[in-house]
Structure formats: structure tokens, C-alpha cells
Amino acid sequence: MSHADGNPAPLCLAATGPLTGDVTVPGDKSISHRSLMLGALAVGETRITGLLEGEDVLATAAAMRAMGAQISRSDNGEWRVSGVGVGGLLQPQTALDMGNSGTSTRLLMGLVASHPITATFIGDASLSGRPMGRVITPLSLMGATIAATPGAGRQTLPLTLTGACPAIPLRYTLPVASAQVKSAILLAGLNTPGETVVIEPIPTRDHSERMLAGFGAALSVVQAPEGRIITLRGEAELKPQTIDVPGDPSSAAFPMVAALIVPGSDITIRNVGINPTRAGLISVLQAMGGDIRLLNERTVGGEPVADLQVRHSALTGIEVPPDGAPSMIDEYPILFVAAAFAQGRTTMRGLEELRVKESDRIAVMAQGLTACGVSCEELEDGLIVEGCAGDPIPGGATIAARLDHRIAMSFAVLGLNAARRVTVDDARPIATSFPTFVPMMRQLGATARN
Ligand code: S3P
């Protein structure tokens, strides 16, 4: 059952004492999507452990199956992907249902763009409002034909894409700091003759580059004055890999902030990815006074990983440097929550991209925080939060999660230190990225009420 089926499931978390214990979080969502996609394009069998079994990643698995890959899960949780080879994707027989997942949609559009097939992409109400022009523009330049639905001044799903074969190699400077756009172009470049070049003036998560190289593609990255220049040689042959997916830092962010704001807490989150293009939240929370220690730092499958020990801390408001935004873009909703408990003012800017995520995360967080008695000011590109200096926030509100998993989890965490209940109207979207969120919070000592 997906989050779009059945009745809303309200959620209210409470903490009757400190949060304690050792937990793990599910596998990294970005790496999980890419493991399935690249495995499906390799010749031979890729084995994946630690795959995130959330709805977004399952949508990618279903789409890759519909285009010819064989994908199965063993009882021990290992996933096996038998790929079709670059250039070998088959015409899907029905529309590809992307559910809530922007990453599945944009990256798969890239894959289809250089194959001689046509695919229709559909999604839920949240995804169907998100802008696709940012991938339509470069993929059209590579020769793909794309018919999208016009919506509120943007091109949206449902859309139908017919790939070009051969596609035209592209040299493209990213107009928005987006790993999804970068990755869509690189994935299209896999089955394109010659060199596909993406220039990113502002660095974004680099999992595609690491994993493409790991699967054997000829890829180089050069740091130049205009930005990171990523060059991929097309008509690549990918070799199957064995992948161990590290825990998702974007999911670890929720128990991390929960421990920081609940008095007396001391928790350890094991096996969390700390790739520098993803780990911005840790340094920002440390700069706010958060007691977060990185233990047992190591490398797993080409990605840096650590165990995180987090203790309750007196936080202080800061000006969060905007240039770090891409390295923590999905973590701002929960950072806004941390800021609500800090002493003084936290200013967060440079966040225009938050307005086109699963919801308009600036507006939705500002409304919800205000409803819970937290004073904040919405800016065009960010939020200013006046913290309660560690005291319980007033609470006493029901928050509309608007089909956004991270909004739902952020307000569930906010309610852990609230004078009156904070209820999230519908927790089902949490299953897109963190199906074990509620059991994990219970394991740490929180209680969940409906
Ligand atoms: C992702 C990139 C980011 C992020 C998303 C996952 C990826 O999106 O918000 O959750 O896996 O490439 P943008 O590329 O839109 O910034």
C-alpha cells in the first residue's frame, strides 16, 4: 500500500524522559536509487545490501523492471539486479508511476532520453506540481522529445518522453544547484556518443560521479574557476558491483535533532553517511553548540561513514552560511525545528530551492511553527527563527503534512518538547523515505500516540 491509499494516519510523538540507545537508520535514498539504476544498466548481476526499502526507491525498482531489468530481493534483505546493458532499456508497456519521488522521475527521464523508447511518467499530487523544465531543457538539447503538462507557470507531470538514439552530447552549465539535474544529464550521457560535460558552479551531492566511476564509466572531475567540470565518456560499459548502502544522513537528521532538544538525551546512530556534499547539517548544529561526535570514521563502498553520538545540548542561534545549503538541502525543515529550541535568532537564507521540494518547505514550516507558538519570519529565500532557549515550545496544533515526508517527521520531532500536543495530520508520506521512523523513535524511548 502506498501513502496515497487508504485514510490519513495522524501521528503525535511525545517524550516522557531522555532519549537513549543505539539505532540505525535506513539506507541512503540517493545511493539506493542510483544502485538500482546503474545495476540495471550493467551487464551481469549487481548485489545491494542496505537498500532503502521506501516507496520512492521501490518506484525506481518497478520502473527499471518495466524497462527490462530483473530485480529481486532475498529473504536476508540482499537485492540482486540483472542489468540489460547501456543502450538495452526496453519500451515500458504502461506509464511509469513515480509516486512522490522527484529523484526517480528526473534521473529516469535522463536514462530514457538516450534510448530509442517512449515512456510516460506519472506521480502523486505533490510530484505532479513540481517543476520538470529544469531537466526538460537539457534533455531536449540532447535530442529527446518531451511533452509535459503545463501547470502554474511550469512544466509538470504527467509527461511523455521519447528518447533520441543516438543522442547529442551536451556541454551544460547547471542554472540551479541540483544533483538531480546533473545526474539526469550524466545518465543520458551514458548512451550518448562522445563526451557529455556538466559544469556545476555550486557543488551538489556527488553520488552519481562516485558511483558511475565505481561501475567502470570513464568519468573525470576537474575543479575550474567556473566550477566543477564533470566529463563522462559515452557509450559506456558498466560492470556489475557489490554495493553496501550506508545509512542516510538525511534520515539520521531526525533522531539527531530529537536528541539535541530532549533534556538528558544521549543516543548513538550507527553507520551514517558523512559524504562532505551531504554532511552540512552536522557542522551547522555543532556551530550552534550541538554535542555531536563522529566515532569510528571509516569508508564503506567508496563513501565516508561514521557512528554519531548525540547528546542533549543548549543550542545558540547563528547565521547559517548560505553557501552550505546544497550540502544540507533536505535537512532545513529539521534545522528549523532545532532553531526553535535555540537561545536567540537563527537566520537561514539561500533556500529558494526549498520552495519546489515535496512541498513549499519554507511556507509550510513557517505556518506550522507559527501555529505551534514559535516566532519566525518567512523570507523569499529562507526563514528567521526566534528560539525558545531550550524551554518547551507551546505546541497545541495539528499540522498539515501536505504529502511531504520531511514536514511530517520534522513536526513529529518538534512535538517531543512541547507544552501541548503537536499532531501531524497524516504520517503516511514518511514511508517514502523512512518506513522505520516511528519504531526507531520508540526504540529511543519516545511514545507515539495517534
Ligand atoms: C537528490 C537531490 C536533491 C535532494 C533530493 C535527492 C538526489 O534534489 O533534494 O532529495 O538524489 O540527487 P535537487 O537535485 O532537486 O536539489
Distance 179 CA to ligand 1 centre (A): 6
Residue 369 near residue 330, CB atoms below 8 Å: no
Specify whether 209 is located in the same domain as 305: no
Ordered mean pLDDT values, 10 residues apiece, the chain (450 residues): 77 97 98 98 98 98 98 97 98 98 98 98 97 98 98 94 98 98 98 98 98 98 98 97 98 98 98 98 98 97 95 98 97 98 98 98 98 98 98 98 97 98 98 98 93
Distance 17 CA to ligand 1 centre (A): 35
Minimum CA distance residue for ligand 1 atom 10: 330
Is 334 within the bounds of a domain? Answer: yes
Work out the angle at residue 334's Cα, subtended by the Cα atoms of residues 37 and 423, and round it to the nearest 5 degrees. Answer: 105
Q: List, by residue number, the catalytic residues.
A: 330
Examine the fold and report which residue of 243, 273, 303 is the final residue of a domain before the chain moves on. Answer: 243
- State the pLDDT at residue 1: 43
CB crowding 121-160: b at 16 or more within 10 Å, else e = bbbbebbbbbbbebbbebbeebbbebebeeeeeebbbebb
- State the pLDDT at residue 6: 83
Examine the fold and report which residue of 213, 243, 273 is the final residue of a domain before the chain moves on. Answer: 243
Is 4 within the bounds of a domain? Answer: no
Specify whether 322 is located in the same domain as 434: yes
Specify whether 222 is located in the same domain as 330: no
What CA–CA distance (Å, rounded) separates 442 from 259? 13
**Nearest-CA neighbor of 403 among 433, 371, 448?**
433
Minimum CA distance residue for ligand 1 atom 13: 178
**Residue in 180, 331, 351, 404 to alter for ligand 1 test, most ligand atoms within 8 A of Cβ:** 180
Cα distances (Å, whole numbers) of residue 273 to 28, 155, 407 = 8, 34, 22
**Nearest-CA neighbor of 159 among 116, 185, 130?**
130
| Residue list, ligand 1 pocket, CB within 6 Å | 30, 103, 178-180, 183, 205, 329-330, 353
Range of the structural domain that residue 302 is part of:
12-27+246-449
Specify whether 115 is located in the same domain as 184: yes
Specify whether 182 is located in the same domain as 76: yes
- State the pLDDT at residue 4: 63
Number of domains in the chain: 2
Distance 52 CA to ligand 1 centre (A): 16
**Residue in 103, 130, 278 to alter for ligand 1 test, most ligand atoms within 8 A of Cβ:** 103
Distance 253 CA to ligand 1 centre (A): 16
Specify whether 302 is located in the same domain as 441: yes
Is 318 within the bounds of a domain? Answer: yes
Specify whether 219 is located in the same domain as 252: no
The three cell numbers locating residue 250: 538525511
Give the domain CATH number at 174: 3.65.10.10
Neighbours of 391 (CB within 10 A): 11
pTM (two decimals): 0.98
Specify whether 235 is located in the same domain as 317: no
Examine the fold and report which residue of 190, 223, 243 is the final residue of a domain before the chain moves on. Answer: 243
